[in-house]
Amino acid sequence: MRPNLLIPHARRYWNVDHALKLAFLVCILLTSTSLAFSQKYFYYYNGEKQALELNTNYVYLVIPSNVSDSNQLKVLVDESVQVTKFDLDNSAKTMKSVAKFDNAPSEYWAELKLKNRMSADEYLQYLKELEKLDAIKNAAPYFTNKDGDKVGISQYFNVKLRTQDNYSRLSKMAEEFDAVIVGQNPFMPLWYTLKCKENAKNNALELANKFYETGVYEHAEPSLLLEGIAQDPNDPLYNDQWGLNNTGQYGGTVGVDINANNAWDITKGSGDVVVAVLDHGFEMNHPDLQGNTFGTGFNTGTGTSPAQVLGSHGTACAGIISASQDNNRGVSGVAPNSKIMSISNSLLSGPTTIQELANGINWAWQNGADIISNSWGHNSLVSGLIDNAITNALTNGRGGLGTIVVFSAGNSNNAVIYPASSNPDIIAVGASDDCGLRVDPTSGSSCMSWNSFQGSCFGAPLDVMAPGATISTTDRQGGTGYSTNDYTGGFGGTSAACPFVAGVAALILSVNPCLTHDEVEDIIEQTAQKVGGYTYSPTVGRPNGTWNNQMGYGLVDAEAAVQAAQQMLPSNGGFDIYAKDRPFDIGNEPNPDSGPMWISEDIWVRQNLDGGTSHQNPEFKIFSPNGVYVKIRNKSTVTSDCANLSLYFSKASTGLVWPNHWINYSLSGVLNGDKVNTVSIPPIAPGGTYTVEIPWYPPNPADFVNDIHHFCLLARIESPADPMFNELNGVGVSGNVRRNNNIVWKNVQVYDVNISNFSSLYVRGTEKGLNKIDLLFWDRGFEDKIEKPFFDRGGEINVKVDPEFFERIKEADLQEIKIIDQNTLHIASSKARISGIPVYGDETFSMHFAFGADVGEGEEVILDVLQQNTEKGTLEGGERFVITNTRKGYFNEASKLDVKKDNLVYPNPADSEIYLKYEVLSDDSEVEISIHNILDAQQSIKLYSGKMQRGERFEKYDIHKLKKGVYILQLKVGDKVTTERVVVE
């Protein structure tokens, strides 16, 4: 059956009377039908013919530059085809130019995957019809080699001269056969690349053979398009992972796998896609998982973070999804570049089991999970509470696009169990073996089964199958899991099958993050492989193709699913949405403004989800979130589509590196930076705006030893239709923000009502190796309306720095800065500057500030601490402090007490006792000393109360009864009060 090549409106734009150019190929292919496979199609390698067979599933196209995207090509050619590859042809840039080709017009190349199978005659006729279009400059066939690999031929072929004297012969022969010499290999000058002209009578395969058969040239070969050029992963147990690449290693059917290798040619996942594993919890420090963990997770049993490891099941599931690849360790996950979130539950029956599981689902989607993998279930669990949690995830997750919820079908060899059976929008996954059969120990199959007692559940709710027998994956370390080492080769059942499908969903979202949960499920079902010899038939209520009661839609196919997701990218690309870095930013890339990039007015915080438009300092709360708001603007003439906003937090610093300090960044065992969530951006009309709301629970200040106040927020607009502009990894984020209008950055201050006296920040190197930085203290703002700056109000700052950093500062150039004590600086001028501090790229130092100024009640003033590269003079980052009158009393009274802050408490942190050093200025002074927990004033000790005489004091106090945490020590002398933060270890 001949395919429908053209849709009517395509004919209005293109001349279909284009001269026939592939008739020669039809003749050639039809003249020798009785010849052997190896003699019909071939090319030469080292003088020997390399056999090829026609592959009618794919077509190679060359397209002029005015057809600039795959969606336009698809409309012009045939809506039923898939454009699996589309790219600009940059081949000429890879070689030494030849004058005749210098001004060649730019063009694209593409690969089509045809929907319908064709005979050779129908396929060649299809090529012929394609080449009638002015929109197609060349249409070439695909082949299969003797190893079964897909091989395409492009318009290029390569020729090696025997001597340079042969060049004139090459040039003449090229002209004779309608080819052009594109360029010379820059490393091997006897090699030249040639290209078939648009009106050539022969394709590249034929021309390469003709050139070789003259005997003039040492080599002549077509430039082939090959799949899977990359080597198999170097993970030692990869060869055991038949579910990813079935070579018959366990006696099964070669090729019965999820086609992971071919999918990885397109994508290996994305760090922007997060899969929650609701299970026993997985070992986040497992060497094959730790690079891909997201956040600290959640323990449903206690309702707190972090997640715990309560059994072995979760670690095995997590490895199937996202074990790291090419790290010379263990196994590879299905989506080895995606992130995994640990949600831990004992998976044992208990009084609150149902509530805990429902809470785990809700916590996952509310905290950034794009997909939830659930390898658990039981018919006795049936619960409206769990049903509602699943509905919440499907409805509200991913900013309204819906979190993808995947459940195992069950292992009772019976009907699909709950919750997989509860909601048609759940993807219910059964387990298949390496012959493509449902895992069923009662079937008598010689293929592998999970064990002799259990088999994969089946029936009406079943959607797809995935590998579920003898699965190699990660195991708990140290012999505490299923095996005596860190990996197991015997995981199985639908518990294993479920994370395979969750991993495929992660691959899908990595290429098209704007799909709804329904669309992801449809793709997985529509592209499933009809394996095992079962009869798949049209079934009522199953609209995504033929279905089978034992197998659902069939075995999940990662490659086909990813390709289908790519085809669903929106066709109206070319829009440009952005958020402002600074007040007068109009979205230019790069932003020509050289000022600070961390004060965006298009990102702000509210202490509640109230939609307010003015910025508030975020507040640490346990039961209700703060709201982060980001205004998105469309500067283009095209309505936006398919775009997400990802929000990240990091502990404040004058230097922050992307993505090092923003994704799963821990310091001293405490999470200092990670993604908050990703939400969908609805379509925005040209010139319009939209404000995105993202709930945020700021970290607990008690978790941090240093810098307990300041955080930075980074918002990234992500869209395949509006890509990032020159975003770099491993560099200071300030440069990315300046270069890219899709990224905005904001400093915020997290405060606790019991702590108002200290503000801190980190100083970090942002470039590899040793560099020198300057620190500036600026109170004039950047286009801010400031009536009276901080230093004009008599402002002064005491700064306490790390001892090692202090030694480096002493060797630097200090301007308008005094050293008043060990590790302590005094600043009272806007001209203050520390120049030439040596800092390595992987170093972090802390600075602690105490402010004093004449600030009236209700007023607030700003101070920016700027980090600048000494040699380049470029801003690397900075922090903004907001000083209110709550700080005035502390600073002035601390000064009157004559307390040297670095000596007040020692040691700090402490575990059993502390020493206090201070001075009392008058006789018979009433003195009170107390210490209390910053989160619980009931946790307090009164260390001293009574009168003291004038003089310096040095005293020891016992604090061993205090629990670990962060405390405030208060020293009151008469009506003068000072405080110090104390960390109890």
Is residue 18 flagged as an active site residue? no
Residue 881 lies in a domain: no
Residue 878 lies in a domain: no
pLDDT tens-digit profile of 36-52?
333 578 999 888 898 99
213 and 91, same domain (yes or no): yes
Report the alpha-carbon distance of residue 775 to residue 797 in Å, rounded.
14
Span 810-827, mean pLDDT? 88
Structure tokens, 447: 């293929």
- Residue 68 is predicted with a pLDDT of 66
pLDDT tens-digit profile of 499-553?
999 999 999 999 999 899 999 999 999 999 999 999 999 999 999 999 999 999 9
Span 893-919, mean pLDDT? 63
- Residue 91 is predicted with a pLDDT of 75
Scan for tokens 């509905």, then name that residue. Answer: 391
164 and 206, same domain (yes or no): yes
Ramachandran sector of residue 934 (left: φ over 0; alpha: ψ -120 to 50; beta: rest): alpha
For the cut 80, the answer to whether the pLDDT of residue 855 exceeds it is no
- The lowest-confidence range among 420-429, 513-522, 913-922 is 913-922
For the cut 50, the answer to whether the pLDDT of residue 93 exceeds it is yes
- Residue 749 is predicted with a pLDDT of 65
Span 712-739, mean pLDDT? 86
Count up the domains in the chain and report the number.
Answer: 5
- Residue 925 is predicted with a pLDDT of 83
**How deeply is 490 buried, as exposed, middle or buried, from its count of CB atoms within 10 A (0-12, 13-18, 19+)?**
middle
- The lowest-confidence range among 612-621, 780-789, 872-881 is 780-789
Residue ending a domain, choose from 749, 769, 792: 749
Residue 197 lies in a domain: yes
Give the active site residue among 78, 235, 240, 279. 279
Residue 768 lies in a domain: yes
Q: Determine contact, residues 435/532, Cβ cutoff 8 Å.
A: yes
Report the alpha-carbon distance of residue 535 to residue 537 in Å, rounded.
6
179 and 75, same domain (yes or no): yes
456 and 584, same domain (yes or no): no
Task: Looking at mean pLDDT, say which of 157-166, 416-425, 860-869 comes out highest.
Answer: 416-425
- Residue 38 is predicted with a pLDDT of 38
Give the active site residue among 219, 280, 286, 313. 313
650 and 521, same domain (yes or no): no
> Mean pLDDT of all residues in the chain?
83
724 and 768, same domain (yes or no): no
Q: Determine contact, residues 205/223, Cβ cutoff 8 Å.
A: no
For the cut 70, the answer to whether the pLDDT of residue 182 exceeds it is yes
Q: At what angle do helices 120-130 and 23-31 cross, to 10 degrees?
A: 170
Report the alpha-carbon distance of residue 389 to residue 202 in Å, rounded.
62
Quick one: which of 528, 489, 424, 497 has its CA closest to 241? 489
Distance of CA 102 to the CA centre of its chain: 39
Is residue 495 flagged as an active site residue? yes
> Rounded to 5 degrees, what are φ and ψ at 594?
-95, 5
Quick one: which of 773, 776, 759 has its CA closest to 817? 776
Residue 877 lies in a domain: no
Report the alpha-carbon distance of residue 183 to residue 191 in Å, rounded.
9
Residue 692 lies in a domain: yes
Q: For residue 896, name the pLDDT band (cuts at 50, 70, 90).
A: very low
822 and 950, same domain (yes or no): no
CATH at residue 730: 2.60.40.10
- Residue 954 is predicted with a pLDDT of 67
* More confident site: 428 or 732: 428
- The lowest-confidence range among 551-565, 746-760, 889-903 is 889-903
For the cut 60, the answer to whether the pLDDT of residue 340 exceeds it is yes
pLDDT tens-digit profile of 861-892?
888 888 889 988 888 888 877 777 643 333 33
199 and 94, same domain (yes or no): yes
Quick one: which of 653, 668, 703 has its CA closest to 841? 653
| Peptide bond connecting 659 to the previous residue in cis, omega within 30 degrees of 0 | yes
Torsion, Cα of 112, 116, 117, 122 (10° steps): -80
Q: For residue 467, name the pLDDT band (cuts at 50, 70, 90).
A: very high
137 and 200, same domain (yes or no): yes
Calculate the alpha carbon distances from 170 to 31, 163, 224, 427 in Å: 29, 11, 21, 59
CATH at residue 501: 3.40.50.200
| Domain span holding position 809 | 759-872
Which helix (H) or strand (E) is 70 found in, with range? helix 70-77
Calculate the alpha carbon distances from 49 to 114, 161, 213, 830 in Å: 28, 20, 11, 78
- Residue 71 is predicted with a pLDDT of 67
For the cut 90, the answer to whether the pLDDT of residue 911 exceeds it is no
Outline where DSSP puts E strands in 252-356: 274-279, 298-299, 339-344
pLDDT tens-digit profile of 555-607?
999 999 999 998 888 765 678 999 999 888 899 988 888 778 888 989 999 98
626 and 549, same domain (yes or no): no
For the cut 60, the answer to whether the pLDDT of residue 97 exceeds it is yes
Report the alpha-carbon distance of residue 881 to residue 651 in Å, rounded.
14
Q: For residue 417, name the pLDDT band (cuts at 50, 70, 90).
A: very high
- 474 forms bridges with which residues in the sheet? 487
Give the active site residue among 338, 421, 495, 760. 495
Residue 386 lies in a domain: yes
Of all residues in the chain, the percent with pLDDT exceeding 70 is 88
- Residue 377 is predicted with a pLDDT of 93
Span 963-982, mean pLDDT? 80
Which 3-state string (H, E, C) describes 149-192? CEEEEEEEEEEEECCHHHHHHHHHHHHHCCEEEEEECCCCCCEE
497 and 624, same domain (yes or no): no
Report the alpha-carbon distance of residue 197 to residue 204 in Å, rounded.
10
CATH at residue 965: 2.60.40.2550
Of all residues in the chain, the percent with pLDDT exceeding 90 is 40
213 and 276, same domain (yes or no): no
- Residue 571 is predicted with a pLDDT of 65
pTM beyond 0.85, yes or no? no
Residue 706 lies in a domain: yes
Q: For residue 719, name the pLDDT band (cuts at 50, 70, 90).
A: confident
pLDDT tens-digit profile of 103-155?
666 788 888 888 777 888 888 888 888 888 877 888 899 998 887 778 889 89
Is residue 279 flagged as an active site residue? yes
Q: For residue 799, name the pLDDT band (cuts at 50, 70, 90).
A: confident
- Residue 892 is predicted with a pLDDT of 34
Torsion, Cα of 285, 287, 288, 292 (10° steps): 50
Q: Whats the size of the chain, residue-wise?
A: 985
- 694 forms bridges with which residues in the sheet? 628
Q: For residue 1, name the pLDDT band (cuts at 50, 70, 90).
A: very low
Task: Looking at mean pLDDT, say which of 237-246, 846-855, 893-902 comes out highest.
Answer: 237-246
Residue ending a domain, choose from 538, 567, 596: 567
Residue ending a domain, choose from 567, 601, 618: 567
pLDDT tens-digit profile of 359-371?
999 999 988 899 9
For the cut 50, the answer to whether the pLDDT of residue 900 exceeds it is no
